[in-house]
Amino acid sequence: MILSVKQARVLAGKTQQEMAKSMGIHRHTYAKIEQDPEIATIRQAEEIARITGFDLEQIFFGLKSTFSRK
């Protein structure tokens, strides 16, 4: 099952503010990642996976994201 960034966050029981704080970024920046996951850096994608408890491969970051070019 492939989850969106938002689905992963919601299933992990986290708010956007909690995610942003854990990642060391502003909530607005995190919200932009949810809206357009292709802008996430590899580091951000890895942190989202770690914080939500899902494998990185279970979260969709888009075909043009830096993660997909890894």
Q: For the chain, what is the radius of gyration of the CA atoms?
A: 11
* CA 8 remoteness from chain centre: 8
pLDDT: which is higher, 67 or 49: 49
* pLDDT recorded at residue 34: 95
DSSP β-bridge partners for residue 3:
59
Q: What is the pLDDT of residues 2-42, one digit of tens each?
A: 899 999 999 999 999 999 999 999 999 999 999 999 999 99
Domains of the chain and CATH, by start = 5-69 (1.10.260.40)
Q: Report pTM.
A: 0.86
The candidate with the shortest Cα–Cα distance to 9, out of 63, 58, 49, is 49
